[in-house]
Amino acid sequence: MKVLIVHAHPEPQSFTASMQRHAVETLQAQGHEVIVSDLYAMNWNPVVSAADFGTRKNSDYLVYALEQRENVAAGTIAPDIRAELDKLLECDLVIFSFPLFWCSVPAIIKGWIDRVLVSGKVYGGQRFYDRGGMRGKRAMLAYTCGGRDFMFDAEGVHGEMDLMLRHVLRGTLGYAGFEVLPSFVAYHVPYIKPAEREAMLGRYGDYLTKLDQLEPLSFPSLDDFDAEMHPRVRTPQMTEQD
């Protein structure tokens, strides 16, 4: 398969960067094709603006999503967005590799999402969740954090990590139509011993060799909603006793 790793850490010697390199080695050893978008190294511009568009449908008032649709179709979207969009459209799996910042992705990744997950190709016209443009592709998060694992249990002080990241897992990746795999999380990274971090790298490598065995996260099917997105009223099934 073709794998795109969208990586964001400002320090190339960081543990997160070690994880990203380990992912490349592991996936390539399995025969997969891997492309890395190293956002800090690329000096990726995360800020949406009118400069993203070579032409304008409406030059008086910027409707960003409308101009995304028009400019992708016309071939006039900014070259940096086009290059990332091409990588995205060609891949089977996207891995987002990053340190957890404020229980979210770093701003530079958020800006990749804002600019690359374009209206028209990725979503729009009631194409989301199981009708989203990324249907047939998989996505997962692989991230490091300072907190300890038990802090992010259901009973933990912060509550479940997946609920913290629901806006990304469901609101972005699930919405876009990706099959979202469970995240790989490296906890307490700056505070543990080097040998423990090395063991973590080993666990990450094992994880990447077993992606097909992972149960994807569950999101709604639009079949269960009407044209206005109200839940469909289910008629009880008749049984033989009825």
Ligand X SMILES: Cc1cc2nc3c(=O)[nH]c(=O)nc-3n(C[C@H](O)[C@H](O)[C@H](O)COP(=O)(O)OP(=O)(O)OC[C@H]3O[C@@H](n4cnc5c(N)ncnc54)[C@H](O)[C@@H]3O)c2cc1C
Sites of contact with ligand X (CB under 6 A): 9, 11, 13-16, 18, 99-103, 144-147, 189-190, 194, 197-198, 201
Q: Which residues, 6 or more positions from 202, have their beta carbon under 8 angstroms from its beta carbon?
A: none
From the CB of 91, what's the least distance to ligand X, in Å?
Answer: 24
Nearer to ligand X, 85 or 100 (CB): 100
From the CB of 196, what's the least distance to ligand X, in Å?
Answer: 8
Tokens of residue 201, six digits: 């790298």
Nearer to ligand X, 93 or 100 (CB): 100
Cβ contact 232:220 at 8 Å = no
Backbone angles phi, psi at 174, to 5 degrees: -65, -45
Cβ contact 52:77 at 8 Å = yes
Nearer to ligand X, 81 or 100 (CB): 100
Amino acid at 213: Q
Nearer to ligand X, 136 or 202 (CB): 202
Cβ contact 19:144 at 8 Å = yes
From the CB of 94, what's the least distance to ligand X, in Å?
Answer: 20
Give CA 209 to chain center in angstroms: 19
Collapsing DSSP states into helix, strand and coil, what is residue 38?
strand
Cα angle: 126, vertex 131, 135; to 5 degrees: 140
Nearer to ligand X, 133 or 147 (CB): 147
The single-letter DSSP state of residue 194 is H
From the CB of 114, what's the least distance to ligand X, in Å?
Answer: 19
From the CB of 104, what's the least distance to ligand X, in Å?
Answer: 7
Cβ contact 38:7 at 8 Å = yes
Nearer to ligand X, 140 or 145 (CB): 145
Nearest Cα to Cα of residue 146 among 13, 15, 11, 2: 15
From the CB of 194, what's the least distance to ligand X, in Å?
Answer: 5
